[in-house]
Structure 1
Amino acid sequence: MRFARSRRVLLPLIAALTFGAGSLPTAPDAASAASSLPFDDISASYAKDDITALAAKGIVGGTGERLYEPGKPVTRAEFAAVLIRLFGLEETNNAIASFRDAKPSDWFYGAVQAASNLELVAGTSATAFQPKASITREQAAVILARGLGLSANGTSAVRFPDVGSISDYAKASVQAASQAGLLKGDGNGNFRPTAILTRAEIAVVFHRILQTADWESRFGATASAMPQLGWQYQQTLAEYKASISRSSVNTLVPRVFFLDSASAITDNTDSALLSWANTSGKQVWGMFGNRFDADRTHAMLSSQANRQKIVSQAAALVVKHGMDGLNLDFENVYGEDRDSMTLFVEELAAALHKSGAVLSVNVSPDLGTDWTEAFQYEAIGESADYVVLMAYDEHWGGSPVAGSVSSLPWLKSGLNTLLREVPAEKTIVALPLYTRDWTIEPAVSSTELEIGEQNELIRSLASASKAWDSSVGQYVFAYAKGQTTHRIWTEESRSLTAKVRESLKLGAAGFAYWYISADSADVWPSIRNAIKYESFGFD
């Protein structure tokens, strides 16, 4: 089965969070729904219809039993929560908090983190969000312009008499939001940039957004089902099933086929996994690896007879087990085998296609080294259905220099290079669910950490310093242990969100995850949010 690029509609919006300070929202109960209005204190409000419409969709809630308090100021946290609900996104309980004043125990934590991951909101400083501070009209304009991809049109600029009181950072956003009809001037034409938004005003603004057909249809739609691969590694079937069930993975990649000799393949397929995948609606692309054995791989590739035997066996195994495809993972291949490797991929793809099976080929970023010399990316892209870019190991275990496993600029560079030779619709980006704990002094060395292990280590480091490094798109933790100095370039919800978004902007057709058991639970809603938000098509 191939992955179509159609759009499917309407996902339910997630439940509303409170506008009351520090407590959960109260949605109208059955009795309230039966009454003419959802709240008792909005009948005289100019925003009555807007509040009613948004309450019906679960985008706003009350502050108490049948109370909305339309004149009450809106906090920065509440604004972020409403924005997330408007977009139909999930809250994300990040293992690493973006701000020191937004804690996991706070009702707004998941909403603020989700908005922060997507860069819809920013802090008032590098470490503070001020979630309980009232939001001003110019601050709201900045968030709306950023979230909706609005830009000011200079030919139809709105002239506010009080333009001089608008902060420089907000002027373009105020223009864009006013031109879009979301935030307007008062009776005197003034914008009132530092005035506080009320709960009535926010209902009017967000209802205006929903009354724009294009925006409403984008929020209600979800991205098409793209391939999302999860490699099985050092897990039992039960463990793998549990990991898959909490993830966004729709394509299982068990590591089952290996080059046993120049003319034979070992088969470790678990029929129970195939049965579970079938009942769960998951595809299975069995991984076929060469165990990094360059000599054995050369003996197979350089012999036409051996190559044909392996192609026939691989295709037959896929048919035998009723798999949907094959994931080819040949690494450490001699550069002299470049032509025969290309021919092997072509022959394997042709054999698999006869039974309707898919071929995906794993490749490393082309850095012009002998590690990738055997891979003709363009030719492989012509034959295979998908090319999987393994966008990790920028700094590997034996690296003489400490650094990120996968920094955002490095990933973008590798993907851009690949896209010059492979069509975007055939490109899958493989993301790391691991990082490294680096010893910087007295000598450089490192220990691999799964994301879950990383999070546990960080929680235990009371004296560690943390800073978001926008140049790499990651938090960097620094700590001392005895006489050694350590650094961790983290992988977590925020960094992975950035990688997913940038990959989609460049046209990636899907994602893969190495490896599926190394995750933490907050990663998956963050990835789903990134995919859905990018499907809106905002620039």
Structure 2
Amino acid sequence: MKKMIPILLTATLLFTNVVLRQEPVAADLPFNDISNSYAKDAILRLNANNVMKGTSGSEFSPTRSITRAEFMTTLTRIFKVEPAKSAIPAYRDVPKTAWYYGTIQAATELGLTNGLGDGIFKPNQPLTRQEAASWIVRALKQNAAGNSSSNYQDAAMIAAWAKPSVSSITELGLMQGSDGLFHPTQPITRQETAVILDRLLQDTRWTDALAASTNQTIKLGWQYGLSTEAYKKAVLQSNVNVLVPRWFFLESTGKFSDSSVPSLVTWAKNNGKQVWAMIGNRFDQETTHKLLSSSSLSSEAIQTLKSYVQKYGLHGINVDFENVAASDRSLYTAFIAKLAQELHSVSAVLSVDLPPDLDTDWSDAYNYTELAKSADYLVIMTYDEHWGGAAAGSIASLGWVENHLQKLLAQVPSDQLIMGMPLYTRDWSLSSTGATLSYEDITLADQNKRMNQYGLKPKWNDALGQYTMEYRKNGTLHKIWLEDARSLSEKLRLGMKFGIAGYAYWHIGGESPDIWTSLQNAEKYAGYSFK
């Protein structure tokens, strides 16, 4: 087992526990219409714990049908999910100005719902009992299976897509129906909802999981194009816990230049964060070979980097040597092994930036298995799927990212992998035949600005795990495969599924501020382990 970084991997995210108060019912009820409701006690508990609210300051409306927006909002509160202020609305009928926008966006980004298709959610439509069953089973991460639904006398009325969920929720004891009937298409009332969700929150199968703590993942953020002050400001507004300033670069002499800002290390420590300063080779293959092939230059470089760690109080070093010649594969592996040995002697972490294993000369220089034996972490730059000179397309579609993670997991332990996350995308200019004319790298903020400028309505592509949009400028067709809170949440949840060590964001300053709440939600929810 690799040594863990002292601060990050001993810290835990102590998620706010779902603790239900059990005090006796007060004489003065918070709502004037629940005294005769069979769900009164459940309503009081849910209200006291800020899970389910009334329809006004004095009314709960227990017999009224609950809307899709109301139910999903209540469900997300159970899982302590924060409303997401996503820049790109998931549904045409859920405007940003709606009170429920944030919770429906958050639920969609977590995969709890996909709406009714074609970008429609119908937030004010009453929720049916079979829809409620489906949402709850999915939220609890249960495999919708079984045949208990066939025991209901009205089983023929249960939609085919809902039957597995109805079976599961029945076997879980959360919904039973009445008099042998499930009433699948009947709208579920607010008091029925209260009883079901209160039942869930009285069951230790769920509450223990919600109360459990989980290890904090690494969230690395490279500095690029930002002053030190701007970088610090951006980091404070993010989820980043490891700063990676680009301070040391290989020069033509075979030695490293030093543009460090020591005050950033002090600032990071005062804010509970680590600094893994980056060393880069500026894609210079010739100078990199000069360094790797010279025992004197490489030994001197390693001692220099070790001295930087000691001089500046760095927590680690992040090596970013790209465009290394395939013929230098063994030399590079040996250099990393020697560097790791020296850094570990002063309790510093070594992370190495690598492209995915592309089976091309861009990745042939990297022996992933051997590098993982020396370095603490391999940071896989899972982006640039499509790049300049190639056909237009996504820079990091979900399937492409997953395929490369799986390929690497056959070579490297999951707890040593850090997955690259793109905070940029490309605006492609296309000919009438779809051929690439040109492209422009843009930040997520630039992407969102163009969306608003041209009044565009991005379309979600399930297969890619991201939105796409098109527009014309001066008669030329432009297409963008967007990266946003939803697409990045999909990637983060993928990484959590594989148990990787963390995520690396290229680059801080490229983000849209709304992504951080969504990513925090994704990590929190992915950390729940329901039995």
**Fold shared per TM-score above 0.5:** yes
- Match status 1:535 vs 2:527: yes
Residue 111 (structure 2) aligns with = 119
- Aligned match of 2:22: none
Cα displacement string for residues 398-418 of structure 1 (whole angstroms, at most 9, x for unaligned residues): 233000010001101111111
**Paired position in structure 1 for 2:9:** 4
Question: Are the equivalent residues in 2 in contact too, given 1:11–1:222 (CA < 8 A)?
Answer: no
Counterpart of 2:41 in structure 1: which amino acid?
Answer: D
**1:49-93 Cα distance to aligned partner (Å, 9 max, x none):** 111111121101122223212112110011111111100011111
In the TM superposition, 1:389-468 aligns within 5 A as 389-396=380-387, 398-442=388-432, 443-444=435-436, 445-462=438-455, 464=456, 466-468=458-460
Tell me the matched-pair count: 519
Report the more deviating stretch, 522-531 or 33-42: 33-42
Aligned to 1:181: 173
Distance 2:389 2:463 in 1: 20
For residue 79 of structure 1, the aligned residue among 47, 71, 86 is: 71
CA separation of 1:152 and 1:99: change in aligned 2, threshold 3 A: closer
Shift of 1:40: 2.9
- What CA distance in whole angstroms lies between the structure 1 residues aligned with 2:507 and 2:480? 19
1:155-197 CA-partner distances (Å, limit 9, x unpaired): 76661000001111111111111111111111x2100001111
Q: Does 1:266 align with 2:257?
A: yes
CA contact (8 A) 2:18 2:210 kept: no
Deviation at 1:219, TM superposition (A): 2.0
For residues 152 and 491 of structure 1, do their structure 2 counterparts lie closer, same or farther at Cα, with a shift above 3 Å needed?
closer
What SS does the corresponding residue of 1:197 show, helix, strand or coil? coil
Distance 1:525 1:10 in 2: 14
Describe the superposition over 1:441-463 as per-residue Cα deviations: whole angstroms up to 9, x where unpaired: 1551211110000000001112x
Aligned residue type for 1:221: A
Is the CA contact 1:62–1:68 (under 8 Å) kept in the aligned structure 2?
Answer: yes
Cα gap change, 1:51 to 1:469, in 2 (>3 Å): same
Paired position in structure 2 for 1:221: 212
Q: How big is each residue's C-alpha offset from its partner over 1:413-440, in whole Å with a ceiling of 9 and x where there is no partner?
A: 1111111111100100010011001111
Sort the Cα spacing of 1:523 and 1:152 in 2 relative to 1 into closer, same or farther, 3 A: closer
**1:301 is matched with which residue?**
292
Runs of 4+ in 1 over 4 A off after TM superposition: 5-8, 33-36, 155-158
Alpha-carbon displacement from aligned partner over 1:89-111 (angstroms, at most 9, x marks no partner): 11111101010100110000000
For residues 324 and 86 of structure 2, what CA distance do their matches in structure 1 show? 39
Cα RMSD of the aligned pairs, angstroms, is 1.9
Amino acid at match of 2:9: A
Task: Say which SS state the counterpart of residue 257 (structure 1) adopts.
Answer: strand
Q: Does 1:283 align with 2:264?
A: no
Q: What is the aligned partner in structure 2 of residue 346 from structure 1?
A: 337
Unmatched runs of 5 consecutive residues or more in structure 2: 20-24
Compute the TM-score of the two structures, normalised by the length of structure 1: 0.93
Query: How far, CA to CA, are the matches of 2:508 and 2:401 in structure 1?
Result: 20
Pair 1:369 & 2:374 matched: no
Between 436-445 and 284-293, the greater mean CA deviation after superposition:
436-445
Q: Note if contact 1:138-1:170 (Cα within 8 Å) is conserved in structure 2.
A: yes
State, as a whole percentage, how many aligned pairs show the same letter: 41
Deviates more, 1:439-448 or 1:68-77: 439-448
SS at match of 1:309: helix
Give the SS at the match of 1:154: coil
Secondary structure in 2 aligned to 1:119?
A: coil
Could you tell me whether the CA contact under 8 Å between 2:205 and 2:530 is conserved in 1? no
Correspondence list, 1:165-204, <5 A: 165-186=157-178, 188-204=179-195
* SS of residue in 2 equivalent to 1:518: coil
1:319 to 285, 297, 310: 310
Aligned mates of 1:175, 1:7 — CA distance in 2:
36
SS of residue paired to 2:412:
coil
Matched, 1:379 2:370: yes
Take 2:530 and 2:130, find their aligned partners in 1: how far apart are those partners? 21
Corresponding residue number in structure 2 for 1:476:
468
Could you say if the C-alpha distance between residues 446 and 538 of structure 1 is closer, same or farther in structure 2, counting changes exceeding 3 Å? farther
Residues 263, 309 of structure 1: 8 Å contact kept:
no
Q: Distance in 2 between matches of 1:7 and 1:272?
A: 27
Deviates more, 1:525-534 or 1:101-110: 525-534
For normalisation by structure 2, the TM-score amounts to: 0.94
Could you tell me which amino acid in structure 2 is paired with residue 453 of structure 1?
A: D
3-state SS of paired residue (2:151): coil
* Preserved contact between residue 351 and residue 377 of structure 2 (Cα < 8 Å): yes
Question: In 1, are the aligned partners of 2:451 and 2:457 still within 8 Å (CA)?
Answer: no
3-state SS of paired residue (1:84): helix
- Whether the 8 Å contact between 2:381 and 2:421 is mirrored in structure 1 is yes
Letter in 1 for 2:392: A
